[in-house]
Amino acid sequence: MTAGSADQRTAIRDIAGALGLSASTVSRALNGVYGVNEETRRLVRDKAEELGYIPHYGAKQLVGKSSQLVGVIMPEFEFEASSGFVFLLPAIQRELQRIGKDAIFFSVPFSRYPPKRLSYFIGSRGLDACVALPAFHGGHPLMEEALELGIPCVNFEGVTGPRCSSVVADDYQGGYLAAKRLLEEGHRHIGHIRGPSGLRICAERYEGFRDALREYGIEHSEELLEGGDFSGTSGARAAAALIDRRPDMTALFCANDLMAAGAIQALSQMGIAVPDRVSVCGYDGDTYSAYTVPPLTTIRHSRDLYAEKAVVLLQELLAGRQGRTEKVPPTMLERQSIGRRHAD
């Protein structure tokens, strides 16, 4: 059923009557709006399926209608840890507008994804396509649903299919560049603060980092590894733990800029100067990284280039071309947080 049609309004009234609910409650449940308890959502979803309310993307295409709307879907994390994703939004919106499309933004719980949420987004907003922001990997139910529905979809985690393309950063090369830069300054005891476990980008950044160390005959020690969740708080906590465990650490590579900023703050509070005593390298090139003290040297992937490539891939999918992967190379953004290791 087409979003906003008389048939849709009738279906909502039918569902409401069958369940003894108000039409507004049914509408909120179908649209994924907060304020409806999970049991009610489940009842509404089941009844909607029974009545054939949930559309398949292909059905909309058969009637030849286009809304010119692209859903941009963001994972719900703690906002501090989500800041890297947020910075992508203006660039994606700008690129979509350039090709005559409008962006509509959705956020969904990452670890407790509501079943068929993407189907409801498509049905309630009449989406032509979607863009899934970083974190939605191949095993995530949202991506599995996108592949099943056949809606043109671009993601940033390497997931591809007949109607699905991906823009991926060369995170392995980024981790390699960070380690190489620190090694060239004479550092050998280098700590690493990883991001959330299970994310491809974190694994690849660490793999590149370790391989660079191996070129210098160094196997990275577990004692020099701490986990984080992309927040500044976790970066501060991890830096303190690393220094406590390995006071000989002279450099630190963080899997994102916010954790690096937290690490610098923690080191400063412990009386450890950056970069005189410990050098710090971040990752992402976020705007605020220029305003840490000292300004953060970091690995940068251009978000404008990310967005540009994502929309080019989306145009290809909308034109009927097969899904494919496009890789974005990293660059080193030199500032003042890396220094030469002083002799002991």
List the beta bridge partners of residue 69: 102
Distance between CA atoms of residues 187 and 249, nearest Å: 9
Q: What is the pLDDT of residue 313?
A: 98
Tell me what the mean pLDDT of segment 141-168 comes to: 95
**Residue ranges covered by each domain of the chain:** 9-47, 65-170+303-330, 171-301
Average model confidence (pLDDT) for the chain? Answer: 89
Please give the model's pTM, rounded to 2 decimal places.
Answer: 0.74
Residue 340 has φ and ψ, to the nearest 5°, of: -70, 135
Q: What is the CA radius of gyration of the chain?
A: 23
Distance between CA atoms of residues 74 and 90, nearest Å: 13
- Tens digits of residue pLDDT in 224-234: 999 999 999 99
**Residue range 65-170+303-330 in CATH 3.40.50.2300:** yes
Q: What is the pLDDT of residue 35?
A: 67
Say yes or no: do domains 65-170+303-330 and 171-301 share a fold: yes
Residues 6+ apart with CB under 8 A from 275: 294, 336, 337, 338, 339
Tell me what the mean pLDDT of segment 121-131 comes to: 88
Distance between CA atoms of residues 82 and 91, nearest Å: 16
Residue 207 has φ and ψ, to the nearest 5°, of: -65, -45
Helix locations, the chain, DSSP H: 6-19, 23-30, 38-50, 57-62, 79-86, 89-98, 117-125, 141-149, 171-184, 200-215, 232-245, 257-269, 303-318
**Residue range 171-301 in CATH 1.20.1440.230:** no
Which run of H or of E encompasses 333? strand 331-333
The closest alpha carbon to 320, from 155, 54, 129, 146, belongs to 129
- Tens digits of residue pLDDT in 279-316: 999 999 988 999 999 999 999 988 899 999 999 999 99
Q: What is the pLDDT of residue 87?
A: 77
Q: What is the pLDDT of residue 264?
A: 99
Tell me what the mean pLDDT of segment 147-158 comes to: 94
Tell me what the mean pLDDT of segment 106-121 comes to: 87
The band of 115, judged by pLDDT with boundaries at 50, 70 and 90, is: confident
List the structure tokens of 21.
Answer: 């609910």
81 pLDDT higher than 70: no
Neighbours of 48 (CB within 10 A): 22
Q: What is the pLDDT of residue 63?
A: 43
Q: What is the pLDDT of residue 338?
A: 99
